[in-house]
Amino acid sequence: MSTPLIELDGLSQAYGSFVALDGVTGVVPPGRIGLVGANGAGKSTLIKVLLGILRPSRGTAKVLGLSAIDDTIALRARVGYMPERGGLPPDQTAADFMIYAAELAGIPHRAARQRASDVLTLVGLHEERFRHLGDFSTGMMQRALLAQAIVHDPDVVLLDEPLAGLDPEGRDQMLRLIGRLEGFGIHTLVSSHVLSDIESTCDWILMLEAGRVIRNSALDDLVAEETVELEVLRDEERVASALRGAGAEVRILGHRLEVTTVDADPYDVIRDVLVETGVGMRMLRAGVKTLEDAYLHDEGRT
């Protein structure tokens, strides 16, 4: 079995009275990981703990089997990081900064120059490599930040809100770049509160809410869950209550009910409940569950 990408055990971090991470526990496999949650859910704090910048109040965190607390230097040699804001000196050219960013990770100068050129080409900034970073647009800056995160050939990159401030075209370009990283042998952890972006890029979801893990699963598991949408003519509450009594999870959306079952076939359960209650049905169809649905569902349960 391959080494997990991330192992978290009872991880807690507080800023004074504000609890940013509250007993976060979970194992995340290698691949393209989406770290999702609302603003203030603890995403950036978790990333800083994984980099060893923040020392957690309690618990442990490992990345690629290395402790983020005790093996910080060894870990950082294998990790790249794209911060949410800043990170680029405006008075340096893109090429110079990439060379410097590689050398900071111990890459010798000659190899650093080659890698800087390669990654700037990769992110589409080769023509702009001799421009000062302060003259870059937001989209170019985000691509430059991604370039510095991979210039030293890390095994995993932590991307903190990489799509922030980008226009639709820029988002598309960035998502395609992130999607390519796995093919280079680089695992990714992408933090975002834009769920559709995560859905199109990642294959595993780590969902945080108020510093707690509310979901840690493969993205495919969301789709595989048996969810059915039912629209009834009247008495939604009574039908919902009966469905819950039959072991289903129910969300009421006006006249529509979103029904999820764990063990039983949802269509059988609905049929039995409608017969039992005598309520007429207008529509019945398989639910298309998106990451946003799952987030709203999971958030509602906490």
Could you tell me if 114 and 153 are in contact, meaning their C-beta atoms sit under 8 angstroms apart? no
Q: Does 115 bind another protein (CB under 8 A)?
A: yes
Cα separation, 122 vs 136, in Å, equals 17
Cα separation, 242 vs 246, in Å, equals 6
12 CB neighbour count, 10 Å cutoff? 16
Q: Does 289 bind another protein (CB under 8 A)?
A: no
Taking CB under 8 A as the criterion, which residues in 153-192 touch another protein?
153-155, 158, 180, 183-186
**Looking at beta carbons only, is 41 or 122 nearer to another protein?**
122
E strand or H helix at 23: strand 18-28
Near another protein by CB under 8 A: residue from 28, 101, 213, 291:
101
Near another protein by CB under 8 A: residue from 3, 15, 38, 53:
53
The number of residues that bind another protein (CB under 8 A) is 47
- Residue 93 is given by DSSP the state B
* Smallest distance from another protein to CB 46, Å: 15
In this chain, which stretch among 34-42, 114-122, 236-244, 278-286 interacts with another protein, using CB under 8 A?
Answer: 114-122
HEC per residue, 107-156: CCHHHHHHHHHHHHHHCCCHHHCCCEHHHCCHHHHHHHHHHHHHCCCCCE
Strand, coil or helix: 270: helix
Taking CB under 8 A as the criterion, which residues in 61-90 touch another protein?
73-74, 76-81, 83, 85-90
Chain positions contacting another protein, by CB under 8 A:
51, 53, 73-74, 76-81, 83, 85-93, 96, 100-101, 103-108, 111, 115, 118, 121-122, 132, 148-149, 152-155, 158, 180, 183-186
